[in-house]
């Protein structure tokens, strides 16, 4: 009986994973120590306390953008509570939003919609330890391993640069963090200090979050006087897209909404939103919500 219990314990612990013993850990440790100057014992401690989580792999394998219908996606994000809280968010942060609009050209309703869709305006920033997410996906999810392995190194660098506790930072199952759910490389590249304390804090500073989202969209091609989408008719969509390559930056879109097919043309600013999250449903939801917030 004792023996059986012991075996069970061993199996359980190896399933949860102690990432220090993972075959891919040695190369990571070497890279962090040799190329980036981390203490070996520090990296080893972090890896030995990190856990593989099957839930993370299950979640990333079936994202809403690919498995849901547009109606279901739209109903989740464009609903009364999110609209009302968005209007309240604008009221409470009007000065900062107007400054971001002036400096980056991104309307306050669009910035607000991104924060609303990502985290309900900062309320739900994710409950996974980011170190667990990035090790699980970087080491044990072959389809996206290369991407997440790179984010993992960026996460070590980010937490060192910003003096964050690498073992405590939480985020989404995919390692996205803070109000605007920035992944580590985006945090390092596009997060800005917007409240003047000299430090970009996307977890606690709503001003920094607002400035950083606007900066991200601006750098990814947002045009001040540009459009997100145009309405289109099916014939028009074909006419515009097939013969005229000069217009190929536009994206033809059709969505089945409330039982009928609707047609749109995505412009520069639609493309900029997809750089935030590469999904047509996502960009469309941001557009719809931002329209509701202008009312």
**Residues annotated catalytic, as ranges:** 118
Site track 133-162 with Ca ion (rule: CB under 5 A), x = hit: ------------------------------
99 touches Ca ion by CB under 5 A? no
291 touches Ca ion by CB under 5 A? no
Options 31, 44, 65, 195; binder of Ca ion; rule CB under 5 A: 195
292 touches Ca ion by CB under 5 A? no
Site track 201-240 with Ca ion (rule: CB under 5 A), x = hit: ----x--x--------------------------------
Q: Using the rule CB under 5 A, give the single segment among 31-39, 119-127, 191-199, 285-293 that binds Ca ion.
A: 191-199
Options 44, 45, 65, 193; binder of Ca ion; rule CB under 5 A: 193
Half-sphere CA count of 158, side-chain side, radius 13 A: 27
The answer to whether the Cα torsion of 225, 229, 235, 239 is positive or negative is positive
Residue 22 CB burial class (10 angstroms; 0-12, 13-18, ≥19): middle
Options 30, 39, 71, 197; binder of Ca ion; rule CB under 5 A: 197
SS3 content of the chain, % helix, strand, coil (to 5): 60, 10, 30
Residues 6 or more apart whose CB falls under 8 angstroms from that of 69 comprise: 256
Binding-site size for Ca ion (CB under 5 A) equals 6
Residue nearest Ca ion by beta-carbon distance: 193
Closer of 158 and 271 to Ca ion (Cβ): 158
3-class secondary structure, 56: helix
Contact 190/216 with Cβ under 8 angstroms? Answer: yes
In 105-166, alpha helices (H)? 108-119, 130-140, 145-161
Least CB distance from residue 13 to Ca ion, whole Å?
Answer: 41
Q: How many CB atoms lie within 10 A of CB 230?
A: 15
Closer of 115 and 131 to Ca ion (Cβ): 115
Residues engaged in binding Ca ion (CB under 5 A)? 193, 195, 197, 199, 205, 208
């Amino acid at each position: 009986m004792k023996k059986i219990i012991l075996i069970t314990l061993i199996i359980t612990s190896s399933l949860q994973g102690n990432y220090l013993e993972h075959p891919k850990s040695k190369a990571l440790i070497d890279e962090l120590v040799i190329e980036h100057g981390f203490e070996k014992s520090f990296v080893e401690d972090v890896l030995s306390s990190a856990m593989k989580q099957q839930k993370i792999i299950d979640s990333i394998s079936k994202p809403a953008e690919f498995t849901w219908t547009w109606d279901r996606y739209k109903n989740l994000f464009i609903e009364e509570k999110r609209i009302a809280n968005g209007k309240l968010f604008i009221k409470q942060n009007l000065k900062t939003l107007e400054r971001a609009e002036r400096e980056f050209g991104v309307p306050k309703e669009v910035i607000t919609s991104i924060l609303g869709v990502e985290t309900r305006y900062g309320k739900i920033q994710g409950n996974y330890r980011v170190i667990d997410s990035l090790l699980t996906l970087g080491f044990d999810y072959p389809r996206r391993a290369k991407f997440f392995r790179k984010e993992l190194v960026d996460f070590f660098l980010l937490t060192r640069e910003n003096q964050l506790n690498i073992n405590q930072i939480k985020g989404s199952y995919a390692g996205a963090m803070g109000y605007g759910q920035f992944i580590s490389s985006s945090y390092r590249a596009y997060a800005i200090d917007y409240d003047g304390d000299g430090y970009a804090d996307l977890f606690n500073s709503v001003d920094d979050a607002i400035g950083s989202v606007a900066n991200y969209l601006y750098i990814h091609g947002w045009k001040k006087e540009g459009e997100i989408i145009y309405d289109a008719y099916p014939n028009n969509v074909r006419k515009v897209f097939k013969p005229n390559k000069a217009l190929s930056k536009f994206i033809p879109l059709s969505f089945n909404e409330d039982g009928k097919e609707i047609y749109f043309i995505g412009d520069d600013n639609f493309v900029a939103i997809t750089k935030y999250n590469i999904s047509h449903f996502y960009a469309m939801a941001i557009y719809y919500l931002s329209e509701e917030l202008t009312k």
